[in-house]
């Protein structure tokens, strides 16, 4: 029997699970829950799936090098990578396990940053990394100049759109329903249950999984207007990409050592052809901006000057006028450099009833890189949480 949450609300219908957001994580969760036999509605405000963070990234399958031991990013990236490769290989989804070189562009980075990354990766259970010399890098990638590198053979690239459409097809095969052009407009929770309002209609839900991406914090606030727990403040960082005109000079991914807020302006080879893009950089959005729709996705051509400077640190052969603006994406952040006490590390945040006290409600916020790689592992974690409640 469906429960009436609020006497003033007349739900149009009831569903077991509402997944908010049809990005890669939302689709993976919907697939996992639908395969368990649950009734799943996927609510997406856009006219297509994966229209924001999930389709505006580097499409990299990460190994799990960068994240502190026992963090959610480390846990889900390492296990998610295995699940992802198994899935895309079984589905013949276009991908390329090309490997990655994290290069030291300064001598001190070999014994400091690269060694620290190597040890961090080992603590995360990654046992196939190798510290390689400048000469070894020259054999692997003749166009790269560096003082040494960390070689990660498990890193790759994937057609993220094909991956998402396969996840959706699996979910729909098990009776999940995708509803496009349907934003969550309101929500009510009390001791009896959850209702959300979408496209003018109230829906009563046993479970709500908030995977709203850039909007996840905003959506979470709707559910917690009358509760003591409040979601963290959302911040945003824009990442710009430039594409190389001409054939790619590398066969592998080339990364500098990480920088605050991102992984540096790296070179990503395309899974489908002999081209390469560079990025993203980190362009912090003013903390006063709470609406990600206000952030322009146009790439400012003048930012190319920084790209030339950064790329030439490891590829001095880059000539003038070879880079053209490509695309940009926005990353959801729980941190900002303007804060008096910025977080030393931004982990994924998954808030369930044990945190906020609302049964059946799970918020996923701050899901950025390595969200694509982690998506199937996150989905399995949510499936277990739902199955045990």
Is residue 67 situated within a structural domain? Answer: no
Is residue 90 situated within a structural domain? Answer: no
Is residue 304 situated within a structural domain? Answer: yes
Whether residues 247 and 151 fall in one domain = yes
Whether residues 18 and 132 fall in one domain = no
Is residue 72 situated within a structural domain? Answer: no
Whether residues 199 and 312 fall in one domain = no
Share of the chain above pLDDT 90, in %: 88
Whether residues 227 and 177 fall in one domain = yes
d(CA 66, CA 370): 10
Whether residues 217 and 185 fall in one domain = yes
- Asked if residue 9 has pLDDT above 90, the reply is no
pLDDT of residue 6: 59
Whether residues 101 and 112 fall in one domain = yes
Whether residues 242 and 329 fall in one domain = yes
Assign 199 to helix, strand or coil: coil
pLDDT of residue 226: 85
Each residue's pLDDT tens digit, 123-153: 999 999 999 999 999 999 999 999 999 999 9
The pTM of this model reads 0.95
Whether residues 329 and 281 fall in one domain = yes
- Asked if residue 201 has pLDDT above 70, the reply is yes
CATH number of residue 128's parent domain = 3.30.9.10
The structural domain count of the chain equals 2
Is residue 131 situated within a structural domain? Answer: yes
Is residue 77 situated within a structural domain? Answer: no
Is residue 91 situated within a structural domain? Answer: no
Whether residues 243 and 294 fall in one domain = yes
CB atoms within 10 A of CB 359: 15
Which CB contacts under 8 angstroms, 24+ apart, belong to 181-184? 181/44, 181/45, 181/46, 181/47, 182/43, 182/44, 182/45, 183/43, 183/45, 184/20, 184/43, 184/45, 184/212, 184/219, 184/222
Q: Could you tell me the residue range of the domain that residue 45 belongs to? A: 13-54+161-232+344-387
- Asked if residue 3 has pLDDT above 50, the reply is no
CATH number of residue 225's parent domain = 3.50.50.60
Which of 309, 333, 357 corresponds to the end of one domain?
333
């Amino acid at each position: 029997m469906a429960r009436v949450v609020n006497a003033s609300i007349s739900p149009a219908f009831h569903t077991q699970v509402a997944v908010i957001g049809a990005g890669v994580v939302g689709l993976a969760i919907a697939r996992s829950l639908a395969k368990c036999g649950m009734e799943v509605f996927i609510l997406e405000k856009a006219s297509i799936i994966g229209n924001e963070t999930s389709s505006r990234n580097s499409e990299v399958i990460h190994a799990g090098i960068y994240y502190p031991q026992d963090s959610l990013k480390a846990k889900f990236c390492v296990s998610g990578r295995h699940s992802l490769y198994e899935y895309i290989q079984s589905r013949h989804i276009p991908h390329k396990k090309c490997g990655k070189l994290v290069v030291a562009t300064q001598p001190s980075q070999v014994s400091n940053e690269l060694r620290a990354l190597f040890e961090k990766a080992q603590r995360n259970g990654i046992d196939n990394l190798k510290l390689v010399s400048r000469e070894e890098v020259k054999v692997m990638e003749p166009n790269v100049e560096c003082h040494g590198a960390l070689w990660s053979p498990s890193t790759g690239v994937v057609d993220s759109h094909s991956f998402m459409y396969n996840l959706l097809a699996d979910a729909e095969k098990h009776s999940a329903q995708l509803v496009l052009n349907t934003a969550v407009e309101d929500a009510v929770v009390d001791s009896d249950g959850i209702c959300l309002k979408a496209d003018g209609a109230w829906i009563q839900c046993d479970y709500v999984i908030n995977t709203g991406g850039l909007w996840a914090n905003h959506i979470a606030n709707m559910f917690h207007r009358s509760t003591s727990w409040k979601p963290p403040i959302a911040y945003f960082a824009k990442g710009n990409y430039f594409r190389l005109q001409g054939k790619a000079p590398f066969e592998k991914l080339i990364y500098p050592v990480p920088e605050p807020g991102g992984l540096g302006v790296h070179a990503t080879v395309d899974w489908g052809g002999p081209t390469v893009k560079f990025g993203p950089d980190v362009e912090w959005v003013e903390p006063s901006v709470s609406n990600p729709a206000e952030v322009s996705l146009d790439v400012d051509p003048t930012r190319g000057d920084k790209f030339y400077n950064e790329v030439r640190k490891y590829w001095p052969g880059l000539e003038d006028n070879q880079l053209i603006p490509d695309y940009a994406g926005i990353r959801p952040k729980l941190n900002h450099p303007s804060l008096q006490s910025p977080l030393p590390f931004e982990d994924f945040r998954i808030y369930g009833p044990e945190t906020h006290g609302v049964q059946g409600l799970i918020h996923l916020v701050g899901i950025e890189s390595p969200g694509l790689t982690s998506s199937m592992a996150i989905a399995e974690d949510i499936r277990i949480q739902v199955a045990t409640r």
